[in-house]
Amino acid sequence: MITKKVNSVTEALQGVQDDMTLMLGGFGLSGIPENAIAELVKLNVKGLTCISNNAGVDDFGLGLLLHKKQIKKMISSYVGENAEFERQMLSGELDVELIPQGTLAERCRAAQGGFPAIYTPAGYGTEVAEGKETREFDGKMYVLERAFKADFAFIKAWKGDTAGNLIFKGTARNFNPVMCGSASITVAEVEELLPAGELDPNQIHIPGIFVQRIFEGKNYEKRIEQRTVRKREN
């Protein structure tokens, strides 16, 4: 059986170079590929275009790449938790493309399925649609959005096997599944890596055909992005 297993995060990221376009799974700090991000920081690659729901926080997630000025463009749907992101965007140091969240997901899914583009009603009549083709279907206007083209997709799963099959857990099943297979090379890091055949086929969320490299990650922090509490009632 073909094995997708690599022995380390360093081996998993072989081929990553300056000026590439990268997809990174996660939602807030849930399900982010922490090991891959740490290795990108270590590699010190520059001029990156990053496609991700958000840009992490100042000292974690993609915020680590922002602090080292490794990202030249962010393509995201939400960017409200990162002061350094705000500073770079307002100063013109960082190019930012904001996309409706559903459109972000569907442009990933289109790339995953091999479709060149989708039509969506989201953004019609707003700045989002400026310069884009629009078309009417059944009396409703839609905007043409092209599928993403990325060099690498870095995703995080709960369990995986050496054939690349993946199972996600809880809210970590966010943008990770739609980014699998949406780039030239998909790299999956998992909390537990098992031999092929050990996962229940009925529980697999993403089949291994969408994954080119897989490794078992280490030292996951699993931070809480925001903690909201209330005073205890007597």
- Give the model confidence (pLDDT) of 11-23 as tens digits: 999 999 999 999 9
Residue 210 lies in a domain: yes
Residue 55 lies in a domain: yes
Residue 120 lies in a domain: no
pLDDT tops 90 at residue 103: yes
Residue 27 lies in a domain: yes
Confidence tier at 124 by pLDDT (50, 70, 90): very high
Q: Which of 183-192, 197-206, 216-225 has the lowest mean pLDDT?
A: 216-225
pLDDT tops 90 at residue 228: no
Number of structural domains (the chain) is 1
pLDDT tops 90 at residue 81: no
Q: What is the pTM for the complete model shown?
A: 0.92
Percentage of residues of the chain with pLDDT beyond 70: 100
Chain mean pLDDT for the chain: 94
Residue 123 lies in a domain: no
pLDDT tops 90 at residue 45: yes
Residue 154 lies in a domain: yes
Residue 165 lies in a domain: yes
pLDDT tops 90 at residue 108: yes
Query: 147-188: per-residue pLDDT in tens?
Result: 999 999 999 999 999 999 999 999 999 999 999 999 999 999
Distances in whole angstroms, Cα of residue 33 to Cα of each of 27, 37, 68, 172: 11, 6, 18, 10
The closest of 57, 17, 32, 71 to 188, measured between CA atoms, is: 32
Q: How far apart are CA 55 and CA 34, in angstroms?
A: 13
User: CATH number, domain at 110?
Assistant: 3.40.1080.10
Range of the domain at 36: 9-115+148-216
